[in-house]
Structure 1
Amino acid sequence: MATIDLVYTRLRAEERLIHDALRRRDCVVHMHQDADLVLSLDKRPWSESDTVLMRSMSFTRARYLATFLEVKGARVLNSARAISTCGDKALTSAALAARGVRQPWSFVAFDEEACLAEIERRGYPVVTKPVLGSWGRMVARIDSRSAAEGILSTRFGTGGAQDHVALVQQYIDKPGYDLRVYVMGRAVGGMRRRSEHWITNTARGAVPERYEVPAAHAKLAEEAAAAVGGDIVAVDLLETREGEVYVNELNHCVEFGRSIEQTGIPLPDLIAEHVLGVRR
């Protein structure tokens, strides 16, 4: 009988459904709240299980826990490398670039004036993002020099060192939606997220619906997952009005609580099957 350790922050619908899917497969599941974990920094095994499903909502906790657990001999899904790469948008872009995966052009800058000069050279509109963050928070579209000056002044004038890394990306004129493809070794399904706003996160009110993933989209998403070393990832794609498709971001802790009923994709079962398949 397989034994899996599941690390979580809060028992959301996602974690409960994954737990139940594993149990239906005669799997023993040990649940661990990330805030309660205390790990010695040595190679002594942490658990009788050799496989950990990392569902921590905290990027910081997830990458450190995955790193320490790998030192102790556990196979962590996703790996520390995948979590660290997906959780940092600049590192994600670098990993995609290294493998030649199609994405919007982007650049990073560390000085306000240098960043503004590069935006002016490339032209408006552009999108600026924090390198760390989720759910579309602090993502801004910049349409003019005056807007750029205001946003960059705030970004470089507040916060810590991590906030002073400006990631600027090509603005993609989407036809009212973006696309999310779930990859677990292969593309297993996807959803379209519709919104009248140019930010199309379900956390920001976008309406999810299922879409049949065409082969070209599946191949691009699988290439992106391979570039970051992801076992279980959601790949966000941007499609232009002309039908060109680019990888935007990747998510290492796949969320589906707001969309599973609309899409009908059995993600808990797919995740459980993948985890047990990797373990075997």
Structure 2
Amino acid sequence: MTTMVLAYDYTREEEKRIIRAAKNAGIKLILCNLLESPLDYSDRWDVDAAIIRPVSMFNAVYAASYFESMKVLTVNPSYTILYAGDKVLTYSLLRSANIPIPRTILSLGDDSLYAAAKRLGFPLVDKPPIGSWGRLVSLVENEHQLTTIAEHRAMLPSKQFRAHILQEYIATANADIRCLMVGDEVIGCIKRIARRGEWRSNVALGARVEPYKPDSELIELVHKALTVFKGMFLSIDIFEHKENGYLVNEVNGVPEFKGFIRATGIRVEEILIGKILEKLRR
């Protein structure tokens, strides 16, 4: 019997679906709540694969690296989660692979922050390297707002939140495209449209979702991103620029998919379990 471990910190809809799918596939699934169970390097895990699902990016990276040390197939690997989870690393990796991104400037100090804003012009988008669900992502319309954001972020305890990623604001009717990849397959794409009164298109912020049919150019771009991030289960968020075409905005190494299922009806968890089993048989 195939044995897998599900490493998580909170049980969301996605984790419940994965648990059911594993059970239906006849897999012995060990549940490892990282907030309750220590990871002992002297232990020997007799499992075939580890599915990494913590909400916390750093918990996910650390858990993945731990199971990799046990020579276990890890979905996703720590490299993937780290480079997708830290947006500075994300944009650096995308840029090195000549994958198009929005115009982006990194600021690590007060003087460089205003110099970056001057280069981009207002309005612009300011976000920290770490975070999800649109938290701390700000639409900045003038220098006064930028100063207020910088002052607030300077009070946060983590130095990473004091780094500023400034980006051009792209008029997309407050929508973006999310494509989901399992294995080497694009299983589908959705369009996320921000709720009324909100400019961010995160499902966690109430965005509505609808199916989106990708063209060959978009599929090729997503495959290229998958290659450089080396993951087995990724979601990729993309803007469609009027002049510059598709631009990769973010990559998710521990993707949520309830909104994707709502829009498409595709049972992501079943495909994921099937792809892991397929990889184990090789």
TM-score tier by shorter-chain length is over 0.9
Aligned to 1:194: 193
Aligned to 2:114: 116
Q: Does the C-alpha gap of structure 1 residues 243 and 109 become closer, same or farther in structure 2, counting only changes over 3 Å? A: closer
Aligned to 2:86: 88
Q: Quick one: which of 58, 61, 65 aligns to 1:60?
A: 58
Q: Structure 1: where are the runs of 5+ without partners?
A: none
Q: Which moved more, 1:257-266 or 1:23-32?
A: 257-266
Q: Is the 8 A contact 2:209 2:262 kept in 1?
A: no
In 2, the alpha carbon distance for the partners of 1:29 and 1:158 equals 38
TM-score under structure 2 length normalisation: 0.92
Aligned to 1:257: 258
Matched residue SS, 2:79: helix
Matched residue SS, 1:203: helix
Q: Is the 8 A contact 1:111 1:156 kept in 2?
A: no
Aligned to 2:7: 7
In 2, the alpha carbon distance for the partners of 1:229 and 1:24 equals 28
1:224-274 CA-partner distances (Å, limit 9, x unpaired): 222222210110011134582110101111212244233212211111112
Aligned to 1:71: 69
Listed as ranges, the matches of 1:1-280 within 5 Å are 1-41=1-41, 45=44, 47-184=45-182, 185-195=184-194, 196=196, 197-241=198-242, 244-280=245-281
Amino acid at match of 1:103: I
Deviation of residue 78 (structure 1)?
Answer: 0.4
Q: Structure 2: where are the runs of 5+ without partners?
A: none
Deviation of residue 39 (structure 1)?
Answer: 2.1
Length, aligned pairs only: 278
Q: Which moved more, 1:176-185 or 1:259-268?
A: 259-268
1:67-104 CA-partner distances (Å, limit 9, x unpaired): 12111211210001111111111111111111111111
Matched residue SS, 1:36: coil
Identity of aligned residues (%): 27
Deviation of residue 137 (structure 1)?
Answer: 0.4
Amino acid at match of 1:117: A
In 2, the alpha carbon distance for the partners of 1:278 and 1:168 equals 39
TM-score under structure 1 length normalisation: 0.93
Q: Is the 8 A contact 2:174 2:200 kept in 1?
A: no
Deviation of residue 120 (structure 1)?
Answer: 0.6
Deviation of residue 26 (structure 1)?
Answer: 2.2
1:185-241 CA-partner distances (Å, limit 9, x unpaired): 221111111124321001111101111222211111121222222210110011134
Amino acid at match of 1:254: P
In 2, the alpha carbon distance for the partners of 1:240 and 1:151 equals 27
Q: Does the C-alpha gap of structure 1 residues 158 and 23 become closer, same or farther in structure 2, counting only changes over 3 Å? A: closer
Matched residue SS, 1:187: strand
Deviation of residue 25 (structure 1)?
Answer: 2.2
In 1, the alpha carbon distance for the partners of 2:4 and 2:213 equals 31
Matched residue SS, 1:213: coil
Deviation of residue 155 (structure 1)?
Answer: 2.2
Q: Is the 8 A contact 2:126 2:137 kept in 1?
A: yes
